[in-house]
């Protein structure tokens, strides 16, 4: 049987031939790709010549590219277009990949060569990028068991295999819980308060499920508008509790044991490698460097934000009481009354804004911003194979019409796609045999779908999410390093969010909004009055939003700094860990940990703090753009040169200082959030 995953892609720009790829191709492709990668490692270890940077470090970094290709294609499908068969394959191949990773990381001959190069690096006259790759490679092997004895290496293999399997189970349970829940409404009066477009979308969902009435789900484009606008408080409570108890329902998809197992295995792994906690292991190779620094950072922000957030909560409760609502607001009231108060204070809401944010125009706007800042051109192309009909594909070129990247946009929710938004790649940029291989980058999102009468109209939050993920995409697209292991987003976790969070700032600027915010029916550019209201309301309930993020960050750190054998009850542990961030009353039966995919399925364990950490950098960086002009070509070129193109080729703080001319000003975030002034009152 011919296998398209193992053959040269005879496609435009060497893109994956999705129409030829069948599920039965994946496991044989993984097996063959692993064998090929092993042979490439054998060539390195069997080399009779003395270890050098080129024959050991560079050769290792360029090995396994076929395996990377198969993995990127498969695991994006498992996140964006999965089914029972793909999930079954994932369970079969994940242990194989974990075992192969251990085979490489625990290979004594390979590590001996790496260690030799590292010890003799002064003799090799390495460039800064080569020195960084050598250092990263050596530390990676040491930090992942190369110095362990044989017995401990066996234990490490078992831990990694079990971690891989348990993380997959966590994700499958969560997706099943999201897909299995629906709020079915048959009485039209229960739709009171909901915008016309939201109601129409719920009608479409019901029709797709062969039901009368309207169906709301836990997918964010359905869930969030209901929580924001539905007048029926009992139904808001019902939906909120369903969301808060995902994978926490004492059924076949309960994640409590998975959460405890993952925490225990991570701690065992860290201890085996000589670290007290998983957080200590992770943070050693991040900008923050230690658990103490992270906790000090989070608690310092919390000290400033929580008093203001409590005032915001009181303000919301008073507003509710004055308008005939409950005196004590619960979590399912927050979005609803915040929206009402926002409308009163600023005379603005998402329903006013959505007509100006048609998805296609917002995408085009992101492209125009990239053109003005970095000289990029995006041209939609129709001859590239796609894994789903909804996916859009673009050829990205520079000012000289040279290929920069291929970009895929996958924007709508569906049953086989997990919640959230993310950026990934089908292949990364690198320079091989003198050729600068350009990347294939994907943004996957879950935005409001078109209805029978309206195009996809985004909430303002969805607009900023699109720009956020596009910022990640630009980091991948504009990569310009020699080695794939340092390319694009291959940077410290607490630095990777800088390009994404920085780009969100353009969504609040008139000069940018006027490029893409056009009324979908009239073509009218967004009125200056609305732009001013967007700016004026940008810090509305900001302290509450910050405390919510700190809640997640502190919960993450608690899971990865607390001795795992002391955690017996997942719900109780979460309540105690998040007590300092409590604003709304506690609700029994709600447990976010069971669905905290960022840390138990994704790559953010002991790293969720990075969103706020990078926000300090992005607030400081955007002040530079405001000083120079938000479309200043010099500022754009500097950010491209020192941040976007360099990937992980230099230490992130060194790169930031080259861009900014100084270290970041930590008060920039507080200034932008309005907390510096508020905290002093």
Q: What is the CATH number of the domain that holds 663?
A: 1.10.1370.40
Q: Which of 141, 140, 62 is nearest to 485 (CA)?
A: 62
Tens digit of each residue's pLDDT (9 = 90 or more) over 184-195: 999 999 999 999
Choosing from 244, 269, 287, the residue where a domain stops is: 244
> Do 50 and 109 belong to one domain?
yes
> Do 501 and 650 belong to one domain?
yes
> Do 524 and 424 belong to one domain?
yes
> Do 273 and 410 belong to one domain?
no
Asked if residues 546 and 299 have their Cβ atoms less than 8 Å apart, the reply is: no
Pairing mode of beta strands 403-410, 392-397: antiparallel
Residue 2 included in any domain: no
As a whole number of angstroms, the distance between CA 459 and CA 227 comes to 14
Does 469 qualify as catalytic in the annotation? yes
Choosing from 124, 147, 170, the residue where a domain stops is: 147
Locate tokens 């804004």: which residue? Answer: 353
Q: What is the CATH number of the domain that holds 315?
A: 1.10.1370.10
CB atoms near residue 236 (< 10 Å):
23
Choosing from 147, 173, 208, the residue where a domain stops is: 147
Residue 171 included in any domain: no
Q: Half-sphere exposure (CA, 13 Å, Cβ side) for 615? A: 17
Q: Map residue 217 onto helix, strand or coil.
A: coil
> Do 483 and 383 belong to one domain?
yes
DSSP code, position 581: G
pTM above 0.95, yes or no: no
Residue 263 included in any domain: yes
> Do 265 and 338 belong to one domain?
yes
400's CB contacts (< 8 A; 6+ apart) are: none
> Do 271 and 331 belong to one domain?
yes
As a whole number of angstroms, the distance between CA 297 and CA 550 comes to 10
Tens digit of each residue's pLDDT (9 = 90 or more) over 634-644: 999 999 999 99
> Do 282 and 408 belong to one domain?
no
User: Measured over all CA atoms, what is the biggest interatomic distance in the chain, rounded to whole angstroms?
Assistant: 82
Q: Which residues of 647-678 are buried (b: 16+ CB within 10 A; e: fewer)?
A: bbbbbbeebbeebbeeebeeebbbebbebeeb
> What distance lies between CA 680 and its chain's CA centroid?
34
Q: Which of 504, 443, 506, 441 is nearest to 478 (CA)?
A: 441
As a whole number of angstroms, the distance between CA 531 and CA 510 comes to 6
Asked if residues 441 and 423 have their Cβ atoms less than 8 Å apart, the reply is: yes
Residue 200 included in any domain: yes
CB atoms near residue 37 (< 10 Å):
19
Asked if residues 49 and 113 have their Cβ atoms less than 8 Å apart, the reply is: no
At residue 405, φ and ψ (nearest 5 deg) are: -170, 165
Locate tokens 């998805």: which residue? Answer: 359
Question: The domain containing residue 33 runs over which residues?
Answer: 12-147
Residue 530 included in any domain: yes
> Do 224 and 80 belong to one domain?
no
Residue 169 included in any domain: no
User: How far, CA to CA in Å, does 374 sit from each of 520, 626, 631?
Assistant: 28, 17, 9
Q: What is the mean pLDDT of the chain?
A: 96
Residue 175 included in any domain: no
pLDDT of residue 678: 43
Spatial strand order of the sheet with 422-427 comes to 377-380, 392-397, 403-410, 440-444, 422-427
Residue 160 included in any domain: no
* DSSP annotation string for 428-494: --EEETTEEEPPEEEEE--PPPP-SSS--B--HHHHHHHHHHHHHHHHHHT---S-GGGSTT-S-HH
- Percent composition of the chain: helix, strand, coil (DSSP 3-state, to 5): 60, 5, 35
Number of structural domains found in the chain = 4
Catalytic option among 130, 469, 497, 650:
469
Residue 525 bridge partners (DSSP): 518
> Do 547 and 524 belong to one domain?
no
pLDDT of residue 666: 86
DSSP code, position 524: P
pLDDT of residue 680: 34
> Do 428 and 484 belong to one domain?
yes
> Do 185 and 306 belong to one domain?
no
Instruction: Collect the ranges in the chain with pLDDT lower than 70.
Output: 677-681
Q: Is the dihedral of CA 45, 48, 52, 58 positive or negative?
A: negative
């Amino acid at each position: 049987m011919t296998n398209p995953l193992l053959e040269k892609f005879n496609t435009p720009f060497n893109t994956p031939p999705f129409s030829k790829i069948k599920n039965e191709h994946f496991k044989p492709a993984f097996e063959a790709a692993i064998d090929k990668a092993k042979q490439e490692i054998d060539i390195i270890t069997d080399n009779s010549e003395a270890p050098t940077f080129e024959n050991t470090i560079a050769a290792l970094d360029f090995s396994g590219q076929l395996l990377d290709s198969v993995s990127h294609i498969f695991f994006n499908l498992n996140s964006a277009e999965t089914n029972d068969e793909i999930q079954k394959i994932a369970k079969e191949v994940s242990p194989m990949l974990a075992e192969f990773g251990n085979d490489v990381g625990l290979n004594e001959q390979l590590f001996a060569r790496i260690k030799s190069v590292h010890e003799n690096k002064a003799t090799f006259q390495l460039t800064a990028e080569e020195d960084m790759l050598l250092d990263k490679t050596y530390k990676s092997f040491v930090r992942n068991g190369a110095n362990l004895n044989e017995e401990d290496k066996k234990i490490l293999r078992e831990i990694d295999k079990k971690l891989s399997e348990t993380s997959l189970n966590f994700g499958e349970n969560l997706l099943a819980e999201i897909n299995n829940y629906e709020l079915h409404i048959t009485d039209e009066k229960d739709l009171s308060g909901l915008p016309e477009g939201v109601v129409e979308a719920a009608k479409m969902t019901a029709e797709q499920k062969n039901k009368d009435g309207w169906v709301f789900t836990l997918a964010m484009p359905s869930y969030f508008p209901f929580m924001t606008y539905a007048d029926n408080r009992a139904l808001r409570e019902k939906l909120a509790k369903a969301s808060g108890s995902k994978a926490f329902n004492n059924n076949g998809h309960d994640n409590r044991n998975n959460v405890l197992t993952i925490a225990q295995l991570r701690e065992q792994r860290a201890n085996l490698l000589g670290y007290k906690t998983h957080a200590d292991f992770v943070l050693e190779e991040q900008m923050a460097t230690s658990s103490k620094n992270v906790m000090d950072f989070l608690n310092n922000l919390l000290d400033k934000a929580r008093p203001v957030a409590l005032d915001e909560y009181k303000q919301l409760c008073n507003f509710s009481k004055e308008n005939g609502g409950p005196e004590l607001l619960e979590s399912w009231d927050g979005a609803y009354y915040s929206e009402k108060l926002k409308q009163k204070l600023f005379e603005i809401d998402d329903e006013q804004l959505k007509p100006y944010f048609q998805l296609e125009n917002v995408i085009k706007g992101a492209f125009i911003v990239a053109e003005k800042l970095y000289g990029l051109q995006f041209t939609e192309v129709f001859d590239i194979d796609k894994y789903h009909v909804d996916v859009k594909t673009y050829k990205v070129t520079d000012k000289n019409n040279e290929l920069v990247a291929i970009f895929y946009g996958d924007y709508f929710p569906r049953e086989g796609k997990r919640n959230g938004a993310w950026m990934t790649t089908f292949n990364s940029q690198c320079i091989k045999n003198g050729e600068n291989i350009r990347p294939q980058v994907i943004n996957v999102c879950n935005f409001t779908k078109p209805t029978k009468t309206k195009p996809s109209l985004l909430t303002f939050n969805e607009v900023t999410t699109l720009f956020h993920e596009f910022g990640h995409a630009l980091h991948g697209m504009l990569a310009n390093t020699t080695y794939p292991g340092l390319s694009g987003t291959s940077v410290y976790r607490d630095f990777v969010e800088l390009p994404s969070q920085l780009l969100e700032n353009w969504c609040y600027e008139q000069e940018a909004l006027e490029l893409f915010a056009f009324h979908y029916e009239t073509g009218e550019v967004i009125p200056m009055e609305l732009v001013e209201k967007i700016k004026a309301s940008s810090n509305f309930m900001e302290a509450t939003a910050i405390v919510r993020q700190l809640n997640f960050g502190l919960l993450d750190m608690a899971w990865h700094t607390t001795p795992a054998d002391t955690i017996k009850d997942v719900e109780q542990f979460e309540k105690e860990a998040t007590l300092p961030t409590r604003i709304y009353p506690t609700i029994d039966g709600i447990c976010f940990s069971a669905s905290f995919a960022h840390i138990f399925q994704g790559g953010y364990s002991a790293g969720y703090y990075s969103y706020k950490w990078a926000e300090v950098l992005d607030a400081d960086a955007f002040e530079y753009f405001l000083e120079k002009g938000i479309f200043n070509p010099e500022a754009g070129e500097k950010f491209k040169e020192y941040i976007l193109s360099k990937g992980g080729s230099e230490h992130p703080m060194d790169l930031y200082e080259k861009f900014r001319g100084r270290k970041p000003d930590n008060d920039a975030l507080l200034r932008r959030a309005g907390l510096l002034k508020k905290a002093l009152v």
